[in-house]
Amino acid sequence: MTDINQEIVKTGDFESFINRTGEGNKEVILFLHGSGPGVTAWANWRYALTACGEDFDCIAPDLIGFGQSSHPNPLPKNRQGWMNYWVEQAIALLDELGIQKAHVVGNSLGCSVAQELLIEHPERFKRIILMGPGGTPNTKLSPELARAKGFYDNPTPKKLRQIMSWFVYDPEALKTEIDSLTDTRFETAMKPEIKRSNESIFSTAAVPVPVTALNRINHKVLLVHGRDDRVCSVESSYYLLSHLPNAQLHVYGKCGHWTQIEQKESFNHLVKEYFSEFI
| Mean pLDDT of the region 243-270 | 98
Instruction: Give mean pLDDT, residues 192-221.
Output: 94
Q: What is the 3-state secondary structure (H, E, C) of the chain?
A: CCCCEEEEEEECCEEEEEEEECCCCCCEEEEECCCCCCCCHHHHHHHHHHHHCCCCEEEEECCCCCCCCCCCCCCCCCHHHHHHHHHHHHHHHHHHCCCCCEEEEEECHHHHHHHHHHHHCHHHEEEEEEECCCCCCCCCCCHHHHHHHCHHHCCCHHHHHHHHHCCCCCCCCCHHHHHHHHHHHHHHHCCHHHHHHHHHHHCCCCCCCCHHHHHCCCCCEEEEEECCCCCCCCHHHHHHHHHCCCEEEEEECCCCCCHHHHCHHHHHHHHHHHHHHHC
Cβ burial 184-193 (10 Å sphere, 16+ → b, else e)? ebbebbeeee
Q: Please tell me which residue, 135 or 95, carries the higher pLDDT value.
A: 95
Q: List pLDDT tens digits, range 126-138.
A: 999 999 999 898 8
The confidence score (pLDDT) of residue 1 equals 65
Which domains, and CATH codes, for the chain?
Answer: 5-278 (3.40.50.1820)
The pLDDT, as a whole number, for residue 173 is 95
CB atoms within 10 A of CB 143: 10
Return the number of other C-beta atoms located less than 10 Å from residue 98's C-beta.
6
| Nearest one of 182, 205, 85 to 136, comparing CA atoms | 205
Rounded to two decimals, the pTM is 0.97
CA dihedral 37, 40, 44, 49 (to 10 degrees): 180
Q: Is the pLDDT of residue 279 over 80?
A: no
Higher-confidence residue of 25 and 147: namely: 25
Peptide bond into 155 cis (omega under 30): no
pLDDT at 81 over 90: yes
pLDDT in tens, 37-57: 999 999 999 999 999 999 999
Predicted pLDDT at 147 = 80
Measure the CA dihedral 146/114/228/270, to 10°.
-160
pLDDT higher than 80, residue 140: no
Cα 181 to Cα 186: distance, rounded to the nearest angstrom: 8
Mean pLDDT, range 134-155, rounded to an integer: 84
Query: Quick one: average pLDDT of 237-261?
Result: 98
* pLDDT value, residue 271: 98
Cα 149–258–254 angle (5° rounding)?
A: 115
What is the total residue count of the chain? 279
Asked if residue 210 has pLDDT above 90, the reply is yes
**Which residue from 154, 137, 161 is spatially nearest to 243, judged by alpha carbons?**
137
